[in-house]
Amino acid sequence: MKDFVITTDSNSDLLESYINEKQIGIIPHYYDLEGITYGDEINLTPKEFYDKMRAGLMPTTMASNPEVIRKTFQSYIDQGLDILHISFSSVLSGGCSNVVTGAREICEDNPGAKIVVVDTLSASLGEGMFVMKAADMKDEGKSIDEIAAWLDDHKQEFCIRFTVDDLGHLHRGGRISKTTAIIGSMINIKPILSLSPEGKLEASSSARGRKKSLSTICNDMIENMGSYKDSTDDVICIVHGDAYEDAKYLEVLIKEKLPNKKIIINYVSPSIGAHSGPGAIGLCFMGNKR
């Protein structure tokens, strides 16, 4: 069986230590602040990025660069490796389409090359969990086709619940109306969002106050985990927009109900955080359905 590499994009929000350990290839997504494009050699730390947003700067985002995709894929093909690429939701970005096009062009130019693209219809560590599952299956000796088929068959079991601290960013991104943002902010309403089966970010409910919103997404996760609730093989992931204390508070809530679960905490990457804003909290888990 030909060896293969697992690649993904920077929106998967995987821990750097994990990326290095498993040798995951990363294709960057980009963001622009004050006329500077970040994502390749130039980068801000997440703390620096969110501090700039708090100061009033409004970043714009860009999908992956087709030329970078082709160069990345070609480098692995030149090493004699097949590629399993796990992509950010095609509904939320043009990055998946760029990757599919790049993969097709590389395969046309390199007879015998194989690149399999999985559209996760997910984001952040929800997407990252696809990568972690793929890496585990690769370590077990599964083939690239077996892994891709499993991920496609179980795609709807990768779930995300999300809440934000500032409704203005959701309004700016077209997720809610200006009236809803103003009224919600006045009465301290925090929306609860989820990724739909189609990969869209949708408002599913709301809660009044920060701690209530965190409790709500925790309880919603518990109710939707099904048989995964008792599994010790699957992790739960918490992502945050520079809100580590709130992420730790959510971790405590989870540990009270699921003490044996492994929990990973990481930042929401800037190219996603540009839309969710500082203070956003996401909960990614395996469940019965989205």
| Domains and their CATH numbers in the chain | 4-29+64-153 (3.40.50.10440), 157-286 (3.30.1180.10)
Asked if the model's pLDDT at residue 205 lies above 90, the reply is: no
User: For residue 40, what pLDDT is reported?
Assistant: 82
- Tell me the average pLDDT across 181-200: 68
User: 203 and 177 in contact (C-beta within 8 Å)?
Assistant: no
CA distance 37 to 47: 17
Q: Phi-psi region for residue 171, left (φ > 0), alpha (ψ -120 to 50) or beta? A: alpha
**Residues contacting 6, CB < 8 A, separation 6+:** 22, 24, 25, 84, 85, 86, 131, 134, 135, 138
What average pLDDT does the structure give for the chain? 90
pLDDT of 186 strictly over 50:
no
Q: Say if residue 9's pLDDT is above 80.
A: yes
Instruction: Confirm if 135 and 15 have CB atoms less than 8 A apart.
Output: no
The percentage of residues in the chain with a pLDDT greater than 70, rounded to a whole number, is: 91
Per-residue confidence (pLDDT) for residue 164, from 0 to 100: 83
The pLDDT value given to residue 278: 94
Determine the pLDDT at residue 123.
95
- Helix residue ranges, H only, the chain: 16-22, 46-54, 66-78, 95-109, 124-139, 144-153, 167-172, 178-186, 210-224, 244-257, 270-276
The pLDDT of residue 145: 97
**Residue 41 pLDDT:** 74
The pLDDT tens digits for 88-119 are: 999 989 999 999 999 999 999 999 999 999 99
Split at pLDDT 50, 70, 90, the class of 201 is: confident
Q: What is the mean pLDDT of residues 178-198?
A: 64
pLDDT band, very low/low/confident/very high, at 181 (cuts 50, 70, 90): very low
Q: Tell me, what's the pLDDT at 109? A: 96
DSSP code for 202:
E
**What is the reported pLDDT for 179?**
46
At 176 the pLDDT is: 52
**Whether pTM exceeds 0.75:** yes
What average pLDDT does range 142-148 have in this prediction?
98
What pLDDT is attached to residue 170? Answer: 57
The predicted model gives 169-183 an average pLDDT of 50
Query: What's the mean pLDDT in 21-31?
Result: 97
C-beta of residue 166 within 8 angstroms of C-beta of residue 279: yes
For residues 74 and 209, the model is more confident at 74
